[in-house]
Structure formats: C-alpha cells, structure tokens
Copies of this chain bind each other. A is one copy, B any other.
Amino acid sequence: MELSLFTDYSLRVLIRAAACKEGERTSAREIAQTFAISYNHVVKVTHHLAKLGYLDTARGRNGGVALSRPASQIGIGEIVRKTENFALVECFKTSGNACCISPACKLKRIFAEARDAFLNCLDRYSLDEITSSQATLTLLLSASRN
C-alpha cells in the first residue's frame, strides 16, 4: 500500500509553499531542486494544486507560487482525498462484477470503511502541523538548495 508520487509531491510542494514568509514566493524549479525530484512532475503537480485552489501563481520577475490560504486552514486529509486514487482492490475499479464472488463479498465495504478510518485520521492534521518546527524547516530547505 503506497501513496502515488502525485500525492507525495503535492504534499512536498505545499510544505515548501507553507515555509515561505509573508509576501515571499517559491517556484517549481526551486522545489524540484530542494527535494531533488523531477522538475516536470513538480510543474504538473503545481498546476493541479493551483487549479484546486491551494496555490496562488504569479508571473514575472517576482513571480512564483504561494499558498492561497493559511496553512492552518489546509487539512492533510482533504489534500490526500483530492490527489489520491483509492481503488484499493480490483472491485473498486470495475463498475460491474469482474470478480465472480462480488455479489456475496463484503470485502469492498470493509475496505471502504478502513479507507475512511485512514482519511479521518489525516483529517485531524493541517499543513501547519507538519511544518510546525518552522526554524529547522527553513534551515533544512535553504541548506538543500546550496
């Protein structure tokens, strides 16, 4: 059981954006460099997060991306719900009965309940709670760019 790279990178982009001081912006290039991850992937993720309303983007010399609302108002559960595909087992993917025992099998319902427990747990945390040690985080981020 693994989260997609898309969700992983979405969280990193938002963590980096949350570390910006008032009026500061970051960029896809800086984020990719900081985490040593694919620039093209970060660009895609950044576009998607802007579309979802998490990031505010600006062009030009002082352009870049920044959080569009405070980190304390962005829940980890809601990010993961919006970026992740939760087709845990085959029967989540098919609308029909691809597995012969589907009509009598309660596994899908049980896994849906477990998925909800997973997400409800993430709902208890917001983006600012991941990045609460702001001073250490800023130090690590700037060290990584040098």
Contact = CB atoms under 8 A, between A and B. Distances in A.
A121 B130 contact: no
A17 interface: no
A140 B100 contact: yes
B122 A118 contact: no
Interface in A101-139: 101, 103-107, 110-111, 113-115, 117-122, 125, 129-133, 136-137
**Interface secondary structure of A, over-half rule:** helix
A55 B144 CA distance: 51
A100 B2 CA distance: 20
How many identical subunits does the complex contain? Answer: 2
A52 interface: no
B140 A88 contact: no
A11 B107 contact: yes
A87 interface: yes
B106 A117 contact: no
Interface string A49-60: 000000000000
Contact of A101 (B100, B111, B137): B137
Given A114-B122, A121-B113, A100 B1 contact: no
A39 interface: no
Interface of A: 1-4, 7-8, 11-12, 15, 34-36, 76, 84-90, 99-101, 103-107, 110-111, 113-115, 117-122, 125, 129-133, 136-137, 140-141, 143-144
